[in-house]
């Protein structure tokens, strides 16, 4: 740990720096200007902007220098790789800090899951901060693998890497003053409390913000984001794999309000991390669409740090951590060098510092399913019309529609011609035997079935299929894998990805997982599915706190009314 006395001596040139970055054009997120200057670094801190003597020099040669990028809200489990593999993907792209909500693994493993994320974050070339999952389970409308009380969360609030309470998804619980929700919010006072309130407006929004919830990442329209901004919320502009809101919300940004806006990814799969990038791609896109380059970088660095009350991150200035990104220009925005705590960790898109494998953290098995029969997938038709979960392109919200259902021998079945396909959710934590059945529209699957143990928020097993036999085969295979993703056609497993860590995370490398996902998506495409990442979209169909219609192990859920509803009309 560097002392103030050491920093003062080095800043006053009484002692040499460890490193000096020479001839760089500094993007100054405080003054909003670019100026040429050298950067002195001692141990893990920036000590000044001046011509210092140092034990080592790196000539930047006129390239641009900015703070390391900061993802303000991410579920790392959605990448389906370990923290070590995740860091290997994002650090070379300039991300040196993330705020992770371990909501997914906490819903499966509870405190054990949060502890796993904390322990496996050690030794990474990246700051991993945690927000404590506020809604485990998110609602009583699904069966989760754990239940975390305000007392449970309090056990972690003293950790230096824990910044506060993660997205409060149960906004109706806030509005209705549910005691457990109120206790969690009260326990987090003094720290940040993140929001999650899609389409919440008017007095309900007023009450939600008045409770102390300061941010939201679920805005999909300018109107919604503007109202929340006016109520004092920070707006997290999200660009993930499924939920893409960046282009919709960029027109909101102006010199008067930009300090209240910052970038997040929320959920991003490994393929997109490798091919599209991370926060760096959001900055580049923002610049391409007219956002001032310095403002775009502020939204990816300083704004995030200030929201989370982290005083030594997000800027190139004396006393700040030496998390530094060097890039070529604002048009191509190629990341050339990445320094973490004053150490070069990535160059030209590749890690230069070996990440030591974390210690093994033993975890229990999380796939506990009551015996499944093919008859479990049958739906007895009670009417010719049923409520259908209809996808909204590039969004995780859905729409409720009423469709005529295909009926054969008294059973409601998938209607491939009209893209009304059967879905099922099987409870996998308590072996309760709960199975929810319904229909969805938007996948265009013509043959076979898809299944996954990744399904937000409780991560029960979700199956989409054109026939009961393939759905049954897919579900059984998920159980045998101890969690994963599966594509089945004509009773045969044609591709799979095992996810043995909580049914969410692979033990393999990022590249291996990305390759498997590519093959899974390719096989799904061969079966007629027109979505780029059907498994990511499938995983969101079970979230009962996002409008309008969802399916859980307890049945069809009207998310606007927060209650289960009958399938048939």
Q: What is the rounded distance in angstroms from the CA atom of residue 64 to the CA atom of residue 87? A: 23
Query: What's the confidence (pLDDT) of residue 202?
Result: 95
pLDDT value, residue 358 = 67
Instruction: State which fold the 66-351 domain adopts.
Output: TIM Barrel (3.20.20)
Give the list of residues 6+ apart from residue 382 with CB closer than 8 angstroms, or none: 566, 567, 568
Where are the domains positioned within the chain?
Answer: 66-351, 374-565
| 30 CB-near residues (< 8 Å, 6+ apart) | 302, 315, 317
CA distances (Å), origin 434, targets 311, 387, 431: 48, 20, 8
Count of helix runs (H) and strand runs (E) in the chain:
17, 31
> Which region, left, alpha or beta, applies to residue 130 given φ > 0 means left and ψ of -120 to 50 means alpha?
beta
Please report the pLDDT score of residue 415 as a whole number: 97
Neighbour-count burial for 497-530, b at 16+ CB within 10 Å, e otherwise: bbbbbbbbbbebebeebbbbbeebbebbbebebe
Q: What is the pLDDT along the chain (569 residues), one digit of tens a residue?
A: 789 999 999 999 999 999 999 999 999 999 999 999 999 999 999 999 988 999 999 999 999 999 999 999 999 999 999 999 999 999 999 999 999 999 999 999 999 999 999 999 988 999 999 999 999 998 889 999 999 999 999 999 989 999 999 999 988 899 999 999 999 999 998 999 999 999 999 999 999 999 999 999 999 999 999 999 999 999 999 999 888 999 999 999 999 999 999 999 999 989 999 999 999 999 999 999 999 999 999 999 999 999 999 999 999 999 999 999 999 999 999 999 999 999 999 999 999 988 877 667 889 889 999 999 999 999 999 999 999 999 998 788 899 999 999 999 999 999 999 999 999 999 999 999 999 999 999 999 999 999 999 999 899 999 999 999 999 999 999 999 999 999 999 999 999 999 999 999 999 999 999 999 999 999 999 999 989 889 989 999 999 988 999 999 999 999 988 899 999 99
Would the CA dihedral through 415, 416, 419, 420 be positive or negative?
Answer: positive
- Asked whether 20 and 58 are in contact (CB, 8 A), the reply is yes
pLDDT of res. 361: 80
Residues 6 or more apart in contact with residue 198 via CB below 8 angstroms: 218, 219, 220, 397, 546, 547
pLDDT given for residue 242 in this prediction = 81
State how far the Cα of 376 lies from the Cα of 372, in Å rounded to an integer.
7
Q: Are 224 and 199 in contact (CB under 8 A)?
A: yes
* 455-489: pLDDT as tens digits: 998 999 999 999 999 999 999 999 999 999 999 99
pLDDT above 70 covers a percentage of the chain that reads 100
Secondary structure (DSSP) of 399-464: EEEEEEPEEETTEEE-BTTTTEEEEEEE--SS----EEEEEEES----SSEEEES--TTT--EEEE
Torsion of CA 528, 532, 534, 539, to 10 degrees: -170
The answer, as to whether pTM is greater than 0.85, is: yes
């Amino acid at each position: 740990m560097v002392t103030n006395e050491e920093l003062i001596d080095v800043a006053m040139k009484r002692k040499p720096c460890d490193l000096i970055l020479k001839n760089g054009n500094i993007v100054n997120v405080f003054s909003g200007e670019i100026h040429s200057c050298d950067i002195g670094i001692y141990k893990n801190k920036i000590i000044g902007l001046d011509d210092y003597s140092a034990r080592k020099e790196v000539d930047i040669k006129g390239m641009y220098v900015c703070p390391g990028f900061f993802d303000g809200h991410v579920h790392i489990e959605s990448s389906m790789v370990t923290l070590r593999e995740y860091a290997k993907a994002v650090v070379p792209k300039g991300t040196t800090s993330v705020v992770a909500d371990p909501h997914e693994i906490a819903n499966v493993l509870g405190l054990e899951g949060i502890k796993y994320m904390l322990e496996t974050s050690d030794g990474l070339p990246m700051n991993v901060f945690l927000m404590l999952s506020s809604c485990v389970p998110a609602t009583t409308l699904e069966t989760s693998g754990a239940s975390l009380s305000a007392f449970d969360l309090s056990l972690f609030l003293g950790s230096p890497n824990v910044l506060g309470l993660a997205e409060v998804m149960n906004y109706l619980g806030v509005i209705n003053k549910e005691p457990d929700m109120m206790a969690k919010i009260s326990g987090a006072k003094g720290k940040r409390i993140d929001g999650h309130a899609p389409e919440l407006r008017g007095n309900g929004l007023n009450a939600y913000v008045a409770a102390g919830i300061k941010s939201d990442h679920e805005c999909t329209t300018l109107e919604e984001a503007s109202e929340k901004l006016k109520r004092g919320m920070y707006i997290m502009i999200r660009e993930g794999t499924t939920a893409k809101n960046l282009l919709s919300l960029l027109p909101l940004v102006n010199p008067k309000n930009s300090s209240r806006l910052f970038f997040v990814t929320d959920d991003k799969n490994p393929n997109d991390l490798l091919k599209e990038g991370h926060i760096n791609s959001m900055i580049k896109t923002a610049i391409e669409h007219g956002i001032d380059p310095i403002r775009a970088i502020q939204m990816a660095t300083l704004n995030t740090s200030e929201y989370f009350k982290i005083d030594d991150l997000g800027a190139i200035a004396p006393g700040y951590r030496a998390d530094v990104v060097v890039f070529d220009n604002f048009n191509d925005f190629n990341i050339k060098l990445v320094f973490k705590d004053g150490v070069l960790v990535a160059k030209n898109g590749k890690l230069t510092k070996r990440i030591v494998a974390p210690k093994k953290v033993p975890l229990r098995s999380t796939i506990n399913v009551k015996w499944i029969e093919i008859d479990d997938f049958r739906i007895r038709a009670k009417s010719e019309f049923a409520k259908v979960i209809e996808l909204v392109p590039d969004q995780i919200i859905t729409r409720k529609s009423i469709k005529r259902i295909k009926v054969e021998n008294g059973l409601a079945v998938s209607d491939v011609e009209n893209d009304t396909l059967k879905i099922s959710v099987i409870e996998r934590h308590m072996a309760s035997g709960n199975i929810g059945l319904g229909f969805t529209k938007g996948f265009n699957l013509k043959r076979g079935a898809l299944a996954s143990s990744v399904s937000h928020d409780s991560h029960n097993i979700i199956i989409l299929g054109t026939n009961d036999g393939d759905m049954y085969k897919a579900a059984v295979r998920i159980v045998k894998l101890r969690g994963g993703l599966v594509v089945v056609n004509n009773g045969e497993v044609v591709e799979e990805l095992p996810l043995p860590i909580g049914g969410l995370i692979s033990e393999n490398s990022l590249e291996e997982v990305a390759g498997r996902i590519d093959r899974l998506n390719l096989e799904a495409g061969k079966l007629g599915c027109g979505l780029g990442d059907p498994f990511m979209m499938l995983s969101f169909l079970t979230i009962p706190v996002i409008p309008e219609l969802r399916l859980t192990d307890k049945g069809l859920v009207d998310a606007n009314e927060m209650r289960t509803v009958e399938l048939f009309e």
